[in-house]
Structures are given as C-alpha cells and as structure tokens.
Structure 1
Amino acid sequence: MKLFHQLLVAPAALGLLAPVAANATELNINGVSDYAATGEQVTSITQFSDVYPTDWAYQALSNLIERYGCVAGYPNGTYRGNRAMTRFEAAALLNACLDRVTEVTDELKRLMKEFEKELAILKGRVDGLEARVGELEATQFSTTTKLKGVATFVIGANSYGGNADGFFGGKRDEEAAALSGGTTFNYDLKLFLDTSFTGKDLLRTVLRAGNFNDSTYGGSGYVGLNALEVAFEEPSGDNSVAVNRLFYQFPIGSSFTATVGGRVRQDDMLAVWPSAYPADTILDIFTYAGAPAAYNLALGAGAGLSWESNDFSISANYVSTNGGNSTPGGPEGFFGIEDCSNSGGIATDCAGSSGTVQIAYAPENWGLAAAYNYSSKNRYQGDTFDLSGQGTPLSNFFTNNGNSSSVGLSAWWSPEQPGWIPSISTGWGYNSITDGDDNEFFRSATTQSWYVGLQWADAFMKGNTLGMAVGQPTFVTNVDFRSDVPGSDFVADGNYAWEFWYQFQVTDNISVTPAIYYLSRPYGDLTDGSARAFGGGRGDDTFNNFGGLLKTTFKF
C-alpha cells in the first residue's frame, strides 16, 4: 500500500465528521458498535452482498478495499451504501485507515534504519554531483555552443600494374610507382562548433586541418581516383587550420528549413542524403550516391530551402564556389577557356554556380530519391585538366570545362535487425555537358556513373561493421569534338572501382578500419598516355591500381 495515497484518505475521512448532523437522541449505539466491530478485514468488494457493479461508486469503493484496505462493513455482510453516516461511524472508518497508516509508517522507519548506510552514501553522491555540475557551469566556454571532433589517422600504400606506355617514355606502372608508390601516414582533424540560440536553429562552424596535400590519398598523386573520402587538402598548405564550413540553419514554420552560409556545402542543405552506405567510406568516389555530377558536393557561398512532410521531402539550393571573389571575369586560358581561378562573384561568368533540386521519399529504413543539378564550367575554379576529380581524366576535363546538366537516381534499404542480410544502396548518374563559351576543343559530351554499396551491421561481433562497394566512377559515353580536332569521336573510357573494409569498434569513440581497394582502369581512354580520340592508343593497353590502408578514427 502506498503511504501517499493512505495519507490522502485521512483528511477525507475527517471531512466527513464535520457535516454529519448527529446528536445523542439520533445515535444508534448498537449500530455503531456493530459497524466498528467487524470481525474480519474486508479484502474484496464481493464480500458485500448489497454492492453491485452498476452502483455509481462501485469502482471507487473497490479501490479503497483492494488497494488501501481501510473500508469496514457490517457483520451481516452488508455495506449499506445509501444510508447516511453518523459521526461515530465516520470515526470508526477513520480509525481503520489510521491503523493502516501507522503500520506503513513503522515499516518505513524500519527500512530507513536498515539502509541507513546506503542512504548516507547516496546523499554523498548527490552532493558530489551537484558540486561537479556547479563547477562545469562555472567553467563552460559557452552556454549556447557544443564542441565535438573527429581525428583520423591513415597509413597505407599503392601498387600498380599493366603494360600501358606512360607520359615520359617508360611504362605507366613504373611512373606511378616512382611518383606515388611510397607508404604515407596522413591525418585529418575536424572540429565542429554547433551553436543554437532557440533550440531549433543551428549555427555550425567546422574547423579542419590535415596533411593530404602531397599524398596520393589526397587526389594529388598519379591516380586521382584513389583519393580518400576523409582526405582534406587545404589550399594554404598542410597542417593549416582553416574554416571548412560556416552556415546557419533555421526552421520556417513546421515543415520548412532554410540554410544560408558563407561556406556551405551542397549536402548541408539537402533534407535527405540518398544512401545508407556510410559517408565515412574509403574511396571518395563512393561518397556521391553513384552520381558525382548531380551530388557534386559543391562548397562555397550559398543558400537553400527544404520541405518535409510525411516522409516526403523537396530540397532546392544554390552554391557559388567562387562567391567569395569580387573579380567577375578572368583571362583566356588553355583551349580558349576563361581562367576563373582568381575570379568570381555570385551570378557572374566565373561564379562557379551549382544549383540542385532533389525530391525524396524516405520512410524509416528505406528510400528513393531523384536529383537534378545544373553547374557552370567554373565551379572547380578553372582547373582545366584535373586528375583528382570523380572520374577518368577525360571525363574530368569535360566536366571542368563545360556547363553540366546532371540527373541522379538513388535507392537504399536497411534491414530492421542486424544479420546476414546487408543494407543495400545503389545509384546512377547521367551528365550532359556543353562547351558553354564555344571553346576550341569540343562541342558536347555525356558521362555516366553508378555504384552498389553493401554494409553488414554487427558483423562477426556486436558493434563491428563490414562493408563493400563496386561501381564505375564517372566515364565518358559520348563526345562531339570540334571538326579540326584529329581522331574520331569514339572513346573507350570505361573503368571499374571496388572497395572492401571492416570496421573494428574498439570503444564507443575509437574505431580501426583495415581496407583494400582496386581500380581496374583509372585513366580510362587515356590509359596509354594519348587518347584514341587523338589518333593514338591501343585497345589492349592496361593499367590498374591496387591499394591497402589502415584507418583509425577518434571521436570526441
């Protein structure tokens, strides 16, 4: 019986004593004696012969009897619920309830004495916790901002094979080994400062530093496709801390979310990321949901708006990768293409514009998404021939020097319980490129890409994760060269990529991930050093890249 509820009965019974009008002439002494002298404690409402389930107070009386045990009846088994109560009868009822209260009070005193030492220890711990909370509140660096971080160590190396000729008269695999064959130890550090002023908004500042600038894993090596997702190349040099992201996100009504920032990335403004395959994967090419052109993760000045309702969402955003520069135009560069590396401004020829619209349906453990993106040729700041993009060198050239209209289709599913069935993510991308400013090399081109990613949760041991992905990084499927460019329009740019990894969760905050990966033909149509579209090359030229690494991640 609960003491609190029993104590409530006492004043209620006392209240009954005041309004009952009874004097000596009205008092039935025998009746009171009978009422107070009930021989046995009533334990069930069924012991009363004159109480029925249809009575309006049946449930209340049942609770008093069965839960609190302080209701008395008459020796003949009746309760006489419709009869007025005398003051003596009320006194008898109150006495029965107080007896129960006294029993519980004595029991509590005995328990308190028995556990006196334990209660003293608990009191000391509570006092200690209060002191620590007070100290934290007094020494916290901000009442509105939380700090969290991720530090990653990567050690690994690459090997190369094949018979293709290289750029410098030797074999390509020998050149690759000489330029990018060393074992490297790199790091990446991200510090997240998340600030909220209302509890629903978010001001995010990301500080980042690393030393991947001269590492093959940063995309600057002989094979750009073996760049890692975690790699960070800081323009100001290795080991330099820089602001990687700075944006403000806030709700508008109950369904809309707005984002604006001087350094914001495309995916920061999407309501749904269209993949269950982890963003913290190994090769960077598997980070883009199979459509690197549509989900190009453009980073710069931008703004976006998203709407969500009943698992449906629509997102629209714009990013200017050169939005921080004020010079609107640049000099003419290679192939007559404007060099915008030091130029920019929002909505100018050198803005590096990237606009995205995504529609998604994402219930709890699966989803579908479709995205459209339009990007100007200068979003990569005028890099004319970049090996470190998300595809073959030839596809990177067309993407970097033409205006792109891209489509991405994605689907994903995760099992409700970990087991032998993995989560499955897949995506396909299509990109149509036009030359924009009538450059001297090509009129138009199309590229495609796809991937399938699998991930097993609690693989072999609870908390560990096994994953693999296979697909084709962006490759050229069609091109229309200028009439004065030698060779044919035919290209053989196909290539495949594969990765396999196993993440050991050492503690809640430390994980160790060994991984291997393979690139079947990372140079695509330029495998032999000169594309067949230029009149050179052999159909049987081969060049491949095999790599292995150990990644350790610390979260704090």
Structure 2
Amino acid sequence: MNKRPFLSGGLGLLGALALTAPAFADTSVSDLIAETESDSTGQVTSVSQLSDVQPTDWAFQALQSLVERYGCIAGYPNGTFRGNRSATRYEMAAALNACLDQISDRFASKADLDAVKALQDEFAAELATLRGRVDGLEARVDTVEAQQFSTTTKLEGSVIGTIQFGDQTDVDGGIGSSRASALAEVGLTFNTSFTGEDLLQITLLTGNGGNDFFGEFFDAGGGLAGGTVNPGAIEYRDTGPGVELDRLAYEFSPVENLSVTIGPQLYPSDFIDGNSYANDPGADFNSGFFINNALIINDAVDDPGGAGFGFNYNLGGGPLSLRAGYVAAAGGSAVEGATETEGLFGDPHQAVAEVEYATTFGASDDGNFAVRLQYAYTETFALVQNVVGVNAEATFGRFGVFGRYGISLDPQAGGADLFAVGTNNAQTWMAGVGVSDLLIPGSMLSFAAGQPFIAPGQPDQTNFEGFYRIPVNDNITITPAVMVITDPNNIDQNALIQGVLRTTFSF
C-alpha cells in the first residue's frame, strides 16, 4: 500500500464531507456548512454507496471506518466522493466539525462531556500560556516572511583560503624561491527560480588579489602558446580585491530532458568537460591545468568568460547526453579593437560540443563509468584551432581513475602553420587516480600527472599534483597539496615545486 501525505488526496483520512468547492473568499464558516449540507446527499451508511471509491484505493479502509463505524461521510449528489480533489482549509474545518458532531452525538455521554469541561477548566491557565506562545510564534513567522530576502532566491557561498610556498630547484639564473603567500577567493551565488524548472544565477567574486609561485613564474615568461593554454598555476589566484560579476546566466527547460542556458557572462567549461575527480579548484586539484583540458577549454576565452549560450540534452533520460556551447570573450564590445575583438561573433571566441555516455555498474550500483567525446573550434587573437578530445572516468567502489586527452589539428597563427618544424599538431593529456574515505570518512586522496602543451621541436612541460582533502564538517575542508612542474614553459630548465595548504568554507 502506498503511503501518502495526510492531505494529499481529497479530504484525506478526515474526508468527512465531500464538497462542491465554491469560492470561499467572502464565505463564512456557517454559510459554508449550510451550503455543503444543501449540496450533499445526506448521510452515507456504506462505503459501497460511493461509486468512485474502490477496495484497491490506498485510503479505502480509513473511509470504510469513517462511514460504517462513525457515520462521518457524505457524498456528492451523484454518489461520488472525489477523493483525489484537493481540500481547502474551510472544507477541512467543516468536515472536522461535522465528524466531531456525529461522534459527540452518538458516542459521548453527558458525564463524558462534563469530564472534558472539567479538564478544560483545570488546564485553562496552561492552555492560555500555550495559546500565547503560538500567537508569538505566528507573529515571528509573519515578521520573517515580511523581511526575508526573497521567496524565490537561495544564497550559496564559498570561501577559499590558501597558504603556499614555492621553489625552483637547483636554481642557476632562474627565479629561486618565493616567500610564503596567502591567497583568498570569496564567491556569493544567488540562485533564483521563477517556475521551479528554471534558474537565474548571479555570482559575485572577490579576493585579496594574491598570487602563487607558479603564477608569478608563468606571468613573467608569457605562459604556454601565448597565454591560450593554462600551464598549471593555481586556478583561483589573482582574484580581487575589487568585486566582479563572475556569472550572469539564465537556464530554462523548454522540453523534457533539455536545458538551455544563455547569458552575458558564462564560460565554455559550463557546458562540457566535467569530471567527478578533477573539476573543482575548491574541492580537488588547485592547478587550472588539471581542472580542464588545456586545449578543449581555451584559457584565453574560459579565463575571462563572456557572452554566449549552450544546451544540455539527455536523450530519453538515459545514459547518452549531448552538450554544446558558444562563448565570445569580447561579447560586450560594440567596436572592433586593435586586438581584433569584434563583439559576439569576432575573435576571441570558442564553440564547444560534447557527447557523453555515462552509466553505473556493480551489484549495488557503487561503480560508474563515463566517457565524453569532445570538439572545440577556437579563435583567439588570430590563432585558429580545431581540437578533438576525450574525457573519461571510472569508479570502482572507493577507487577511481580519470583522464583527459586533446589534440589540436593543424593550428593556424595569422593564416600560417603554428609550428615551422615537425607535424603541425599540438597535444595535451592528463591522468590520475583517487581513493575516497581513506582513513577519514568523506576524505579524498588523489594524484595526477599530465602535459599541458606537447609541441614539435621543443621540450614538454610535465605537471604533477597530489592532494588529501580532509573534511572538518559538512561546511569546512582542509586540503594539503604538493605541485611540481618539470621543464616549465616547455623550456629545458629547473623544476618548480610548490606546497599548498587550502581551506574551503561552503554554505
């Protein structure tokens, strides 16, 4: 038998009177009772007299007891009960009153009523106190409802605080070691739904403007591929101290299993390249390189974000999903500039697409597998790329593996091959392992390695990072991590190493 809420169907277990549901805005309770009595058929003596109540109905036994034992049920003139119709509070009051009258008349003696009255008199003071408390609670609730921020908006927040120290090993003419530094990022997100199936998302971001050792190194050297590839600095560096609009996007669902997002400030990574193990700089890897595929998600577009749109379509609610998006980093520019920024459809921009197959396995569905085939077309400051890639992950109980790969096919810089020697392709890859609940419930130990930009004729930078996320409670985690980079900036030079202690607060 299905369990239902008390008031979910008709008059529920107190369905004493079946009413014709008039408009109750200007109707008194006495008028309502008189009206319902004129509309009803009179007392029902057997549940079989209600033509739309069947023995298989979830509340049949309750209705049968109310009819045949207590005589509390009346039907509509056509002999129906209409148990699936919602009941108003007026209807419930009338039904309860009629049922109590029946019980009082048929089952309560004068001695019983005198005893109840004596109890009422005896506990009059307590009842008055209780009534005062209820009145006070109602007044406080009214105040909260009148002063609350919004009935449709929920606030989410996150604070990331990090202490780091870096060094360039065996330095000889390099940058040496860094002082310990503190990085902080604060994000507030307002999630607003107007229909229950849509989402207006506004995120404000600020921080202390702190930088890490890797970030300082790559900023000085220009980064990989002219700054279009994330080489591995901490993702949340250089935030603030001013407040910026990090996200303004509206998501809605025009048809079942399809969500569409449009907005003046969003990111290609909003639509594709998600991964359960490497996707959140506040919860897993600190390095921007391990957060997203360095070629599929172009840093020149995804770092500033921009205006665009995208969709996510889950075919038939099954394991197959289609996703795509388009973002213009200079979408707010109405005039062509010296760096070829041309509004919504000019350079720089990126179009991305992804096909995902995701499923669970195992006797208790404690394992899962997902593979995502990807494509990206990018124009970033006269560099044109067509990139194909794959993003995969698998979980086997507490143990997981994950990885990404991408290849830029014949990239063109100003109409010419990007590379003058070798095959005119660039590649990237990363792979890692993770173990959950190691020693501490809710913890995660993970390690990954990868190469952001494999180019012909030059050394290949290799990144390593390991972290152990320790939950303090539901809202606070502490994560020590170690980050290492060899041949930074694809130059044969000494390795970089950085230690990180990150604390994340979420609410």
TM-score normalised according to structure 2 size? 0.67
> Is 1:501 aligned with 2:504?
no
Q: Which residue of 2 aligns with 1:437?
A: 414
- The higher radius of gyration belongs to 1
> Is 1:491 aligned with 2:458?
yes
Distance 1:438 1:152, change over 3 A: same
- The residue identity in structure 2 corresponding to 1:185 is A
Q: Give CA deviations for 1:205-241 in whole Å, capped at 9, x if unaligned.
A: 11111234654364655586451123244xxxx4111
- The residue identity in structure 1 corresponding to 2:147 is T
- The residue identity in structure 2 corresponding to 1:231 is R
> Is 1:345 aligned with 2:343?
yes
The DSSP-based 3-state class of the residue aligned with 1:279 is coil
Distance 1:5 1:521, change over 3 A: closer
The DSSP-based 3-state class of the residue aligned with 1:362 is strand
Q: Which residue of 2 aligns with 1:519?
A: 485
Say if 2:459 and 2:492, in contact at 8 Å, map to a contact too: no
Q: Which residue of 2 aligns with 1:77?
A: none
Q: Give CA deviations for 1:433-475 in whole Å, capped at 9, x if unaligned.
A: 422424697457322222223333332122x322323222322
Distance 2:255 2:296 in 1: 29
> Is 1:308 aligned with 2:314?
yes
Say if 1:498 and 1:519, in contact at 8 Å, map to a contact too: yes
Q: Which residue of 1 aligns with 2:294?
A: 292
> Is 1:456 aligned with 2:453?
no
Distance 1:253 1:159, change over 3 A: same
Aligned-pair CA distance for 1:431 = 1.7
- The residue identity in structure 2 corresponding to 1:144 is T
Distance 1:507 1:408 in 2: 37
Runs of 4+ in 1 over 4 A off after TM superposition: 4-8, 14-17, 98-102, 115-129, 217-224, 439-444
Q: Which residue of 2 aligns with 1:362?
A: 358
Distance 1:100 1:276 in 2: 67
Distance 1:328 1:509, change over 3 A: same
Runs of 5+ consecutive residues of structure 1 not aligned to the other structure:
9-13, 18-55, 58-62, 72-93, 164-169, 331-338, 379-400, 479-489, 529-542
The DSSP-based 3-state class of the residue aligned with 1:267 is helix
Percent sequence identity is: 26
Aligned-pair CA distance for 1:100 = 12
Distance 1:221 1:101 in 2: 91
Distance 2:153 2:13 in 1: 45
Distance 2:196 2:371 in 1: 30
The DSSP-based 3-state class of the residue aligned with 2:345 is coil
Say if 1:275 and 1:411, in contact at 8 Å, map to a contact too: no
The DSSP-based 3-state class of the residue aligned with 2:380 is coil
Distance 1:203 1:6 in 2: 41
Q: Which residue of 1 aligns with 2:447?
A: 469
Distance 1:200 1:120, change over 3 A: farther
Distance 1:354 1:322 in 2: 11
Q: Which residue of 2 aligns with 1:141?
A: 149
Say if 2:235 and 2:287, in contact at 8 Å, map to a contact too: yes
Distance 1:143 1:523, change over 3 A: same
Aligned-pair CA distance for 1:323 = 1.8
Distance 1:214 1:120, change over 3 A: same
The DSSP-based 3-state class of the residue aligned with 1:346 is helix
Match of 2:180 among 171, 180, 183: 183
Say if 2:181 and 2:210, in contact at 8 Å, map to a contact too: no
Say if 1:424 and 1:453, in contact at 8 Å, map to a contact too: yes
Match of 1:196 among 186, 193, 204: 193
TM-score normalised according to structure 1 size? 0.61
Distance 1:502 1:118, change over 3 A: farther
Q: Which residue of 1 aligns with 2:499?
A: 548
RMSD: 4.3
